[in-house]
Amino acid sequence: MAGQTVPVAEVPDPTFAQGILGEGIAIIPDDGKVYAPCNATVDTMFDTGHAISLVAENGAEILIHVGLETVGLGGKCFKVHVKNGQKVKKGQLMFEADLEGIKAAGLNTITPVLVCNVDDFASLNGHTGNAVTNDDVVIELSK
């Protein structure tokens, strides 16, 4: 997802900001296209299309959650291109969000990108404060 990276602690939702679901970064998106950040398997593509969980080849459990409270849109503003159990390649388009539609509903489009099983890794380095494209590495993990 292209946009500006910020520390996840800046997400105005304590579930994300306090690391309850995992550690990572957040993206203030420039567009709503969500691409696979790495080769992975889709664990859960949420029915409402607002979030996806992936299991990367290195075992990382990744959650990408577009916007805050967007589950309440009931699928409106989202177009899904993948399904549960599907293998995805780095850079593959997984789903799209209508950012203007989300904003029109009065919701924040900030997008947390988290590693939920961070304790399985020795370190997590999130790259924040940068304008990023879909090709940029935003999180690095080491075992």
Catalytic residue check, 127:
no
Distance in angstroms (rounded) separating the CA atoms of residues 93 and 36: 6
Please name the residues in contact with 21: beta carbons below 8 A apart, sequence gap of 6 or more: 15, 63, 112, 114, 116
CA-angle at 78, arms to 72 and 84, nearest 5°:
95
* Active-site choice (50, 65, 81, 127): 65
Running DSSP on this structure, what letter comes out for residue 86?
-
Q: Which residues contact 102 (CB under 8 A, 6 or more apart)?
A: 66, 67, 70, 73, 77, 109
Q: Which of 71, 125, 61, 66 is nearest to 97 (CA)?
A: 66
Which residues are known catalytic residues? 65
